[in-house]
Amino acid sequence: MKPENTSSRRFSIYCRICGKELSVPIVILHGLVPTIVLHSLVFCKEHKRQFARRRREGVSTVQLNTAWRDLLDNWRERPEELDQETRKRKKASRLFFSQRYEDWLLFRRDYPRFLTPREVFRGIGSLLTLGKIKPYKASAVLRPKKGRRPRSAPRLVRLGDSLAFNIQTGEIRRFIDVMEDEVLDDLRGIRPAPGQAEVAAFWGNSAPTGMRERLRERFQQQVAPGYRLLISELVRLAPFWVYGPIGNPLDLVLKGGGWEGGGSDEIGGISLSFSSPRFASTERHFEIITAKANRRNVYYPPEDDEQHTRDLDEWLFQWTHLSDKQREQVGPPAIWRGELLIDEETFSGEIRAWSQPYQLAR
C-alpha cells in the first residue's frame, strides 16, 4: 500500500552497456522532495547478470573495461604485491580501472564528498524553488542566541588517487591527490605530478592533504609578494612564449597583469593590461592575453563554434560595461581573417571589430 501524501512517476535511465531504456519509479514524499536512489552502475537484466559474473569470476588484462567499472579486486592477473590495495578503506571508493596508456594500467580511487546539513537543506530549498512548491511555514520562530558563531574554515579540496602498473616492467607508481591528466603528464615525461613527496603518507587516506592550497599560496608569494605582481617572474615560469608590444605604441603604459592556473596547475594563460593618456577613460585599456590554445575563454575555432564566438563577444560587452541602450547600437562586427607575422612566427587569426557605440575589437 502506498503511504498517504505520496505520489510517483516514471523516470527513464539507460543500460551502461547496450543503451536499452529502463524505467524506474521516483517517489515524491509529502509533495516536497523528489527522491531517487540509483547505483552508478545501471544495467538491463542480461548485463546485470554479466556484471555479477565479472565481479565473481574476475577479468583478464585485455578484458578490463571502464564501462563495467572493473576493479583492481577482480583483475585476475593482479600481481601479489597489489593484494593489499584491494582492502576497503574508510570514506574511499575501491580502486577501479580508469584507462590504459601504452603499457600502463591506471586504477583510480575517489573520495566521495559528503554534504554538510546546511548544504543538504540548501539543495532541498533549490528543488522547492525549481518546482515552484511553497514550503510549509513554521508557526514558531527560532531566535539565535546573542553573539555570532565564527565562520567555519573553507573545506579543503581532496582529489582522488591513481595507481599505475606497467604490465611490461612490473613497475608500480602511486599518485596522491591528483587529476588523471596530471598522472598522464607524469607518465609521458611532460612534467611530474605536483607535490607527491610531501603527501606520500596520504595514500588511501581520505583526509585533505592541503597540498594544492599550499602550492597555490607558495606560487602567489613567488609571483606577487605583498600583492605586487612580479611580471618578469611570472613570464619566466610560463611554459609558453608571452607576447607584448615593443616600445610604447599609442603611449601605452603597462598597468598590471594576471594569470590562470599556477601553483599545483600549469600556468594556462597570462594577461598584460595597458593604459594610455590618449584614452578618455581608464576603463578603455588594451589587454594582451597569451595562453595555451586549449583555453576556451581565449581561443576558439570560429567556423566550428558559433555559440562560443557569441559568448566571447558578450563577455567583451560586459567587460566594457556597455549599457542595454549601447548594446542596441552594436550591430554585427566587421570580421578580418588572415595571417600575422609576430616575432618571426606566423599566426592565423580573426579580428572582430565594432564601430558603435565606440570602437571595440577582439
Domain total of the chain: 4
pLDDT of residue 14: 84
Q: Which of 277, 299, 321 represents a domain boundary (last residue)?
A: 299
Co-location of 85 and 168 in the same domain: yes
Co-location of 203 and 245 in the same domain: no
Q: 250 to each of 17, 210, 288, 332, how far by Cα in Å? A: 61, 46, 15, 27
Co-location of 183 and 270 in the same domain: no
Which phi and psi angles does 350 have, rounded to 5°? -140, 135
> Considering the domain boundaries, does residue 177 fall inside one?
yes
Rg (C-alpha) for the chain, rounded Å, is 27
Co-location of 117 and 257 in the same domain: no
> Considering the domain boundaries, does residue 36 fall inside one?
yes
Reading the chain (362 residues) residue by residue, the pLDDT tens digits are: 444 554 445 556 888 888 888 876 544 444 444 433 344 578 899 999 999 999 999 999 999 999 999 999 999 999 999 999 999 999 999 999 999 999 999 999 999 876 666 655 565 554 444 444 344 333 334 444 455 555 555 567 789 999 999 999 999 999 999 999 899 989 999 889 999 999 999 999 999 999 988 888 999 999 999 888 998 999 999 888 898 888 888 888 888 888 888 877 778 889 998 888 887 765 657 788 888 766 555 555 555 667 778 888 888 888 788 888 888 888 889 999 999 888 888 988 888 999 888 888 88
Q: 268 to each of 94, 109, 215, 300, 321, how far by Cα in Å? A: 32, 27, 16, 15, 26
pLDDT of residue 315: 83
Co-location of 330 and 278 in the same domain: no
Co-location of 359 and 341 in the same domain: yes
Nearest Cα to Cα of residue 234 among 273, 286, 242? 242
DSSP 201-248: GGTT--S---HHHHHHHHHHHHHSGGG---HHHHHHH-SS-----SS-
* Domain residue limits at 22: 1-57
The contacts of residue 254 (CB under 8 Å, 6+ apart) are 231, 244, 272, 273, 274
pLDDT of residue 309: 81
Co-location of 191 and 314 in the same domain: no
What's the grid cell of residue 322?
556597455
The contacts of residue 163 (CB under 8 Å, 6+ apart) are 72, 82, 85, 95, 106, 107, 108, 109, 172, 173, 174, 175
The contacts of residue 259 (CB under 8 Å, 6+ apart) are 223, 234, 267, 268, 269, 270, 271
Is the separation of the CB atoms in 264 and 280 below 8 Å?
no
Nearest Cα to Cα of residue 24 among 6, 7, 39, 36? 36
